[in-house]
Amino acid sequence: MTAPQTSVSAGQAERETRRWLERAVIGLNLCPFAKAVHVRGLVHYAVWPEADEAGLVERLLSEAESLLTHAPSARDTTLLIAPNALADFLDFNAFTARAERRLARAGFEGSLQLASFHPRFQFAGSAVDDIGNATNRAPYPTLHLLREASIDRAVEAFPAAEAIYERNIETLTALGAEGWAALNVGPGADAAGGLPESDRGPAVPGVAELPEAADEDEGESKVTGKGRTP
């Protein structure tokens, strides 16, 4: 297991993940389903600040149980962020497979799906610097719990769901590496603890700006090349 050299606080990890969701996932429309749950405050952010993988599995199971105790109208989906664990993508990929098996054994199969994101995500057969990998690159290792019922409703509302990946590759190719960097959605973008908007990077053509979402109480990412955006 490879761990980051500098510990990242829970607050920083959540702020930077929110920023990535707003500026990249929603701003570039990488996931047409994400904006609705975001603006309605239905995305629950949880942070596992330790490097302990066993503890992360237990936290994932706890978050899965908690998600299903809430009505979808109160909490539709959960992002579990692990900023200080699993910095190596292959380690993270193997961990995600184990986590899926644990969720299934715990009885969540058919109710929840697990997607995952990583700052060093790499599709099988792609180069490390292939811009297409950015579709599944979040600031920190992130496990995404989705309700099966919500996925089904989203697919019904967006019949061309299978075309999302191809469209995302086109979007990112047009944006290019410099455009992606200008979004300023990587780890450390908010290390100062809440940068003012004027210091948060230049506006990027084609990226929709969103208002900050109110706080609430708060794709399967595999080396085989399968991915899901939030």
DSSP codes of every residue in 168-184 = HHHHHHHHHHHHHHHH-
Which domain range does residue 58 map to? Answer: 10-185
Assigned domain for 84 exists: yes
Which is nearest to 219 in space by CA: 153, 130, 167, 146?
A: 146
Structural contact between residues 87 and 93, judged by C-beta atoms closer than 8 angstroms: no
Assigned domain for 221 exists: no
**Residues of the chain with pLDDT > 90: what percent?**
71
Assigned domain for 1 exists: no
Which is nearest to 139 in space by CA: 202, 82, 215?
A: 82
Q: Can you give the pLDDT at residue 172?
A: 96
Residues of the chain with pLDDT under 70: 1-5, 159, 191-230
* Residue 112 phi, psi dihedral angles, 5° rounding: -130, 150
Q: Can you give the pLDDT at residue 191?
A: 59
Assigned domain for 200 exists: no
**CA 213/CA 115 separation, integer angstroms:** 22
Structural contact between residues 220 and 116, judged by C-beta atoms closer than 8 angstroms: yes
Assigned domain for 202 exists: no
Q: Can you give the pLDDT at residue 156?
A: 84
CA distances to 102, 134, 135, 227 from 118, rounded to whole Å, are 20, 9, 10, 11
Assigned domain for 122 exists: yes
Assigned domain for 230 exists: no
Q: Can you give the pLDDT at residue 225?
A: 37
**CA 142/CA 25 separation, integer angstroms:** 14
55-98 residue pLDDT tens: 999 999 999 999 999 999 999 999 999 999 999 999 999 999 99
Q: Can you give the pLDDT at residue 158?
A: 76
Q: Can you give the pLDDT at residue 162?
A: 73
Q: How many domains does the chain have?
A: 1
Q: Can you give the pLDDT at residue 155?
A: 82
Assigned domain for 190 exists: no
**CA 220/CA 89 separation, integer angstroms:** 14
